[in-house]
Structure 1
Amino acid sequence: MSVTFRRLTAADLPLLRSWLQEPHVARWWNHETSPEAVERDFGPAARGEEPSEDLVVTVDGDDIGLVQRFRLHDYPEYVAELTPHVPVPVEAVSLDYLIGDPARIGHGLGPVVLREAVEDTWKNYPQAQEILIPVVAGNQRSWRSLEKAGADRIASCHMEPDNPIDPPLHHVYRFARATW
């Protein structure tokens, strides 16, 4: 299986919008999906105006999902939310991810994509020693994928959930370069 990543472009926004509308994605991403909202929230990264990267995940030539990657310290509000619970090294990176194609859910693809995303992060962010990923505790599929990919749960704590219907309990996972 070949997993690759490429930068999201403006031409990808309709596909991303369709993924965000899928029930298995909408439940956890809780994102407004009008064309204007998708452009507003993802267009700046696609144009290189944001420090984050939105990467289309391609598996065996098919676009199947998205990985967002960013240095945590580029977003002080995330650091402020995490710091009371875990140390956040200056060069730490975070990932957010989705498999948008419903035909690809439940086949073990999540851990494979995450491992490849971690490898790609170590290559493209040579100063990063850790990847920290908070996940709402109710999203068991997501945190089990992190565990299967080799992440360690380093904390369970209350944080503001993306979806207001979720309780605040989150698990924080870490990939450490030193033990990868």
Structure 2
Amino acid sequence: MSPTDATADTGTAPTPDVGGQTSPGAAGRPTPLDPGSADIDRDASWSTDSEDTLELRLPDEFLALIASETDHGSSNGHGGRGAGGSDPVVGTRDDLLDRVADWGSVTTPVGVFHLVPVHVERDLPLIGRWMNDPVVARFWGLSGSPSLAERHVRAQLDGDGRSVPCLGVLDGTPMSYWEIYRADLDPLARHYPARPHDTGIHLLIGTAADCGRGLGSALLRAVADLALHKRPTCARVIAEPDIHNTPSVSAFLRAGFRHSGEIDLPDKRAALMIRDRPARLA
């Protein structure tokens, strides 16, 4: 599941899930798709928009993951890893999000922006400092020992590629932390009408000085545009900020997302925000 939210375009520090900071929540980010019921939350309030109907066809990548993990699990007797400890699905890593590292830079109203996948040894001190901001800590739950943030990031880097942690670099300066993930392959998919290749985003703006200047909404729009342009199979970008994080929700709205309803997640009640593929990119 994703982190909760931090503030976006307000003068306070980052808030997880929108414009300033969107986070995976204290429960932590991404875990492999949980087994068990995939029922949609019956208590969630949904938009009547016909565009939000549930797609019943599972993504090809998910079917491949299941097949691969089943084969390795039956032959090795432990969770889908081979005898040498290698990940049997690592071959899909570059395909699940169409190589975020190669998405390139984009010119925005606030400067030239670039997503750079995290390198733990290089970037952890900066990420750890951001996570210890009191406002960020409230939503991400990763304050305290640097090992908490490190485990959170490494879990994604060592996974099968369904989530890619990145630094957001604006005009050459790292100033935000992002998680670009496959929402349809995430536990989140059990709580909303997921479609194949839905792309999810979480955002944390690193310093209070960068909040309250409209950066959150400008960068959210830019990254959503990038995802839709670089991932031709993706028709929607998804976010789930805490409903109480009004600045975050507002930033997503200003970035072209629509409020599609509310959903109950394990760590929060969230606003389901959706950015649809513009007709010109279809």
What TM-score comes out, normalization by structure 2 length?
0.56
Residue 6 of structure 1 pairs with residue 106 of structure 2: no
Where 1:2 maps in the other structure, the secondary structure is strand
- Where does the alignment leave 5 or more consecutive residues of structure 2 unmatched? 1-110
| CA–CA separation in structure 2 for the residues paired with 1:68 and 1:28 | 15
| CA–CA separation in structure 2 for the residues paired with 1:88 and 1:49 | 20
**Would you say the 8 A contact 2:164–2:180 is kept in 1?**
yes
Match of 1:78 among 177, 188, 198: 188
| CA–CA separation in structure 1 for the residues paired with 2:136 and 2:175 | 12
User: What one-letter code is carried by the residue in structure 1 that aligns with 2:245?
Assistant: N
Shift of 1:108: 0.6
How many pairs align?
A: 169
Moved more, 170-179 or 110-119: 170-179
Q: What is aligned with 1:164?
A: none
Q: Using a 3 Å threshold, how does the CA distance of structure 1 residues 169 and 40 change in structure 2: closer, same or farther?
A: closer
Shift of 1:50: 4.0
Moved more, 121-130 or 110-119: 121-130
User: What one-letter code is carried by the residue in structure 1 that aligns with 2:277?
Assistant: R
| CA–CA separation in structure 1 for the residues paired with 2:257 and 2:136 | 22
Question: C-alpha root-mean-square deviation of aligned residues, in Å?
Answer: 1.8
Q: What is aligned with 1:169?
A: 269
Higher normalized strand content (fraction of residues)? 1
Q: What is aligned with 2:201?
A: 95
Shift of 1:104: 0.3
| CA–CA separation in structure 1 for the residues paired with 2:262 and 2:129 | 32
Q: What is the CA deviation profile of residues 124-148 of structure 1, one whole-angstrom value per residue up to 9, with x for unaligned ones?
A: 3221101111111111121111011
Where 1:175 maps in the other structure, the secondary structure is strand
Return the structure number with greater relative CO, CA threshold 8 A, min gap 6.
2
User: What one-letter code is carried by the residue in structure 2 that aligns with 1:129?
Assistant: A
User: What one-letter code is carried by the residue in structure 1 that aligns with 2:151?
Assistant: R
**Would you say the 8 A contact 1:7–1:46 is kept in 2?**
no
| CA–CA separation in structure 1 for the residues paired with 2:234 and 2:160 | 22
**Would you say the 8 A contact 2:260–2:274 is kept in 1?**
yes
Higher normalized helix content (fraction of residues)? 1
**Would you say the 8 A contact 1:7–1:53 is kept in 2?**
yes
Moved more, 169-178 or 32-41: 32-41
Shift of 1:51: 2.2
Q: What is aligned with 1:30?
A: 141
Where 1:126 maps in the other structure, the secondary structure is coil
Moved more, 100-109 or 24-33: 24-33
| CA–CA separation in structure 2 for the residues paired with 1:58 and 1:48 | 24
Moved more, 24-33 or 14-23: 24-33
Shift of 1:49: 5.1
Shift of 1:32: 4.3
Shift of 1:48: 6.5
Q: What is aligned with 2:241?
A: 135
| CA–CA separation in structure 2 for the residues paired with 1:33 and 1:130 | 35
| CA–CA separation in structure 2 for the residues paired with 1:178 and 1:119 | 9
Match of 2:179 among 62, 68, 71: 68
Moved more, 64-73 or 48-57: 48-57
Q: Which has the higher Rg, Structure 1 or Structure 2?
A: 2
Q: What is aligned with 1:119?
A: 225
Q: Using a 3 Å threshold, how does the CA distance of structure 1 residues 32 and 21 change in structure 2: closer, same or farther?
A: closer
